[in-house]
Amino acid sequence: MFSIIIGSIILSLLHATIPNHWLPVIAIGRKEKWSVREVTHVTFISAIAHGISTVIIGIILAFIGTQLADNIEYFTHFFAPVILILLGIIFIYRHHNHRHFHLDESIKKKHSKKKIIIALVLAMFLSPCMEIEAYFLLAGTQAKWLLWFIAALYLIITTLGMVLLVRFAYLGVLKLNWHSLEHNAGIITGMTLVATGILAFFIS
């Protein structure tokens, strides 16, 4: 259980820092000459939409995990950790082709602020974070409070992280190698999933 919480925190933090989650908002904000307050507001709404769709899928997976745990004796002790490890290997394998969220060019061409916000929110809602979903599945085999704890943790960390990063980056305070971070996000995610799976296998 402890490994699930730690893994969820790490992935939520990593997820919030993935540049192509919030760089499009900065690009559009600068093009449309939005204020820092406007950019922050749009980022907050987009992050919430993104988080909600992720949590909805996560709750469904947690329910499946609960059913499997009740009907398959070895699911919690063997199959769930193996799923985490396999997913981790997949993310490590494809980390150099990370395509989690990309803003469609049509959004950049719109000039109405309302249309831009709707397009951004819809795009974020339709691109849930699949990396964290394995933890929801595993949480479903443990306890209900763990499921809701992970959901709240993910929403808070992702939303707060994205909002703060956008504010600092928009003001020019934060200057990092975002390309390098995005390129390595997949392998870090994969390693986290594998490590969590191994820990869950030995301590469950």
Domain of residue 57 covers 2-203
Instruction: Provide the greatest CA pair distance for the chain.
Output: 58
d(C-alpha 166, C-alpha 60), whole Å: 31
Q: pTM above 0.85?
A: no
The domain total for the chain is 1
10-residue mean pLDDT profile of the chain (204 residues): values are: 81 76 78 88 92 92 78 62 74 58 51 80 82 82 87 93 87 59 61 71 58
Among 192, 201, 143, 200, which residue's Cα sits nearest to residue 9?
Answer: 192
